[in-house]
Amino acid sequence: MPRLFLLVNFATIKAKRFDYKFTVTWLPNFEMLRFSLTLLTISLTLCQVHGAVDYCNATLCGTSTNIGCNNNGTWSTNCPTSPAPYLIAMNLTMRQHLVKLHNVRRNHIALGKLPRYDTARRMATMRWSPQLATLAALNVKQCQMKHDACHNTPQYKMSGQNLAIISYSGASSSQTNAALLTSSVTMWWNERLDANKSVIAKYPSDWTGPQIGHFTVMARQNNIALGCAAARYVTSGMNNFLLACNYATTNIVGNAVYVAGNTAAGCTTGTNVNYPGLCKVAEVFTY
């Protein structure tokens, strides 16, 4: 029976970074999903984003270096060469899957269906950001779970990031991309069990408990966008699935994750027909 290892790390503005590693047993037997990766498409995407945005502009990251600065999109020398690493195809199905994984959970907490948490007055509906996804791809091409110094964009200048790596033995095809994405996002969201309403009301600067930052960035009310990428590669006989998700905003010490109140009472555009606890996609949020 294969074993699943999840390592996660999160960077929070003015807060510490935390790391942990734990092991769970992977039980379901999923059918293999087959994806094709068109290298030309990926290359064109990278050229388009890099051509449109000067990621070396200091206004994006201050004294830090953006991962997109002078990055030609090649795989890191840290990566194995045989077999060669590859990005999973973030086709429409995978993009919709990731967005839904986030919005279903955001809707759940906004409606007050999460024990110990208040309803949310104005929670955004998340949508996919190709630009955030492209920068996420540059992250996973490092073949190691390591945060960027900066992955801001002109639109999202306080971007957050969640990372996860899952390693398992046996046939690579024994775990589908969709299942591994679901497992990673679920692990992030499960940090809710260690957070509380006080954390939601005011993100702490002195948190010493278990990790909560992955959960809180997923629940942040003005997080309108996400973009993710995942790489598969083999090291020491183990199959690795490395996921990076970049977000419109990150956790900010002293700020509320979301404002409690009657569900969606603050949505000026109304509620999302598919997610009644969330504002419509057209809702404008400030950062």
3-26+37-247 under CATH 2.60.120.380, yes or no: no
With a CB cutoff of 8 Å and minimum separation 6, the contacts of 279 are 122, 123, 124, 125, 264, 266, 267, 268, 269, 270, 271, 272
CA atoms within 13 A on the CB side of 166: 28
- Separation CA 11–CA 17 (nearest Å): 5
Select from 264, 265, 266 the least CA-distant residue to 278: 264
Three-class DSSP category at 16:
coil
DSSP letter for 13, please.
B
What burial letters (b/e) apply to 37-74, b meaning 16+ CB within 10 Å? eeeeebeebbeebbeebebeeeebbeeebbbbbebebe
pLDDT of residue 223: 98
- Separation CA 51–CA 61 (nearest Å): 18
Query: What is the sign of the dihedral through the CA atoms of 4, 160, 124 and 201?
Result: positive
pLDDT of residue 52: 79
**Residue ranges, the chain, pLDDT below 70:** 1-51
47-100 residue pLDDT tens: 334 457 899 999 999 999 999 999 999 999 999 999 999 999 999 999 999 999
pLDDT of residue 224: 98
pLDDT of residue 145: 96
- Separation CA 130–CA 121 (nearest Å): 28
- Separation CA 120–CA 218 (nearest Å): 13
